[in-house]
Amino acid sequence: MPLRGHESDLNEKEIEVKMIVLAMAAHPDDIEFMMSGTLLLLKQAGADIHICNLANGCYGSEVMSKEETARVRAGEAQASAELAGATLHPSFFDDLGIFYDAPSLAKVTAVVRSVQPDIILTLPMHDYMEDHCLASRLTCSAAFNRGCPCYVSDPPVPSYSKPVAIYHALPHSMMDMERKPAAPDFVVDVATVMEMKEAMLSKHVSQKEWLDSTQGMSSYINNMINSAQDVGSRFSSFNYAEGWVRHNHTGYCGSDFDPVRELLGDLIFNYE
């Protein structure tokens, strides 16, 4: 599908390109909960898709050790990624160990530079827990660093200058830490991929009892389905939807570079 990068390229001939999408979140299952429907639709539109959970999920159990939990959750994330046809990138940090600091940013920048995405799907800047907020900040800064030749990532990966568009998912319960309501710029109709979205989340078997007992989610599958229904009914006429806020384009791409809207077309309702 023809897509444009910088505004200065408007007079140049558009060419067919294969989009690369990187979904980057905090914990294993965040992507499945909040953005996998859109990710799957982009895959169907011809994009290559990549998944990176910055934290390893090591504290997501009341019965397993930290080390066993991290191992189990890595396997669950791999199973989910394989089901989606996505490339999974290894986690870096323990749960509650995501910090916005120089060493962490260097690691995340290496992933972005290695993948060279055209589209990044990530968490909201303001959500109910710090891991989510900081994962989003690291992701955006890493994407900015992609084109800084003197910045050294960990491990070192060369810089590049291709444009990238960043989109933030809605926070859980559509509110931030201070309970202020959140609204999307646009929503994506994910009804046709809900079965696969559910199947991906179902791969995270270890999380059922954990979420039931610690966060009152009753059934994490039902919670995800109800959330998609809620987004659809609040912000559109879709039965199931995921909401998105586009990140400021400055430093990342031209203002007209909006590949999710271009690729998904009729599946999008503009709420803004």
Q: Where do the H-state alpha helices sit in the chain?
A: 30-34, 36-44, 66-84, 102-115, 130-145, 194-202, 207-214, 220-235, 259-264
Helix (H, G, I), strand (E, B) or coil at 166: strand
- Does pTM surpass 0.75? yes
Helix (H, G, I), strand (E, B) or coil at 103: helix
Cβ–Cβ < 8 Å for 154, 110: yes
- What does the CA dihedral 232, 238, 241, 244 come to, rounded to 10 degrees? -80
CATH numbers and ranges of domains, the chain: 17-270 (3.40.50.10320)
Rounded CA separation 241/193 (Å): 10
Mean pLDDT, each 10-residue run in order, the chain (272 residues): 43 62 97 97 98 96 92 97 98 97 98 98 96 98 98 98 98 93 97 97 83 63 93 97 98 98 97 82
Q: What is the pLDDT of residue 49?
A: 98
Report the relative pairing of strands 48-53 and 119-122 from DSSP bridges.
unpaired
